[in-house]
């Protein structure tokens, strides 16, 4: 459906994260809540991808909006299905970054604990794709102050794409709500639907 959006949260995150809640609130305000999915992803990559595949089928060619590890998932799925994706401080090849981090993890929002194993890391590695080459397919939003991921890795990997790099900020992407008009436009939501909305209140 035109203007549909699938939001993909990051590692140890949840639908209750700030960005997800801001997007949900905006879509509700616009009367478009039915066109948004924000699944609570399983911590295992294979199960998370299965959840996302189901949501893609349900929404019929949504814009994929991926944050952090969700950006890695979104890149894989966008390449597989020929979908558009908007990535917010995305992780690049995250399987290369988990060395020394195996063991007990805790979800920052739900409090759930789980074990990160080599099998998880191998499953992530299986999702690796080549750098995207279709500039119109991807938008990549980066903040240089990201304390979790070096934004320059994403800048290099997505160099053929539309890059929006802001000085400062952090891994959560400060000021996300103010950028939502650009996200809605990329998703194909008609401008007249949201042009009178005050995004500063979200």
Please state, in angstroms and as integers, the Cα–Cα distance from residue 192 to each residue in 35, 161, 186, 196, 199, following that order.
17, 27, 14, 8, 14
Calculate helix-pair angle for 45-59, 118-125, nearest 10 degrees. Answer: 40
Given a cut of 90, whether residue 16 has pLDDT beyond it is yes
CATH 3.30.465.10 is held by the domain 5-137+172-201: no
The structure tokens listed for 83 are 């979908």
pLDDT tens track for 149-196: 999 999 999 999 999 999 999 999 999 999 999 999 999 999 999 999
Q: Where are the beta strands (DSSP E) in 9-157?
A: 36-37, 63-67, 85-88, 103-106, 113-116, 138-143
Confidence of residue 1 (pLDDT cuts 50, 70, 90): low
What is the overall mean pLDDT for the chain?
A: 95
**Domain range list for the chain:** 5-137+172-201
User: Do the strands 103-106 and 113-116 form a parallel or antiparallel pair, or are they unpaired?
Assistant: antiparallel
Residue (of 74, 43, 47, 63) closest to 154 by Cα position: 74
pTM: 0.96
Calculate helix-pair angle for 69-81, 45-59, nearest 10 degrees. Answer: 50
Please state, in angstroms and as integers, the Cα–Cα distance from residue 169 to each residue in 22, 57, 97, 130, following that order.
17, 34, 22, 28
pLDDT of residue 195: 92
């Amino acid at each position: 459906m035109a203007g549909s959006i699938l939001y993909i949260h990051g590692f140890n995150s949840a639908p209750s994260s700030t960005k997800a809640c801001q997007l949900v609130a905006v879509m509700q305000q616009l009367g478009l809540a039915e066109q948004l999915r924000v699944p609570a992803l399983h911590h295992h990559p294979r199960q998370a991808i299965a959840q996302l595949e189901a949501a893609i089928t349900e929404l019929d060619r949504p814009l994929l909006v991926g944050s952090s590890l969700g950006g890695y998932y979104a890149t894989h799925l966008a390449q597989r299905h020929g979908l558009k994706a908007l990535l917010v401080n995305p992780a690049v090849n995250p399987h290369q970054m988990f060395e020394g981090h195996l063991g007990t993890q805790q979800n920052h929002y739900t409090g759930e604990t789980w074990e990160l194993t080599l099998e998880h890391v191998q499953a992530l590695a299986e999702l690796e794709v080549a750098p995207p080459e279709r500039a119109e397919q991807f938008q990549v939003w980066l903040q240089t102050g990201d304390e979790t991921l070096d934004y320059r890795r994403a800048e290099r990997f997505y160099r053929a794409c539309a890059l929006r790099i802001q000085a400062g900020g952090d891994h959560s992407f400060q000021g996300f709500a103010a950028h939502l008009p650009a996200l809605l436009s990329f998703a194909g939501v008609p401008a007249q639907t949201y042009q009178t909305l005050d995004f500063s209140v979200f």
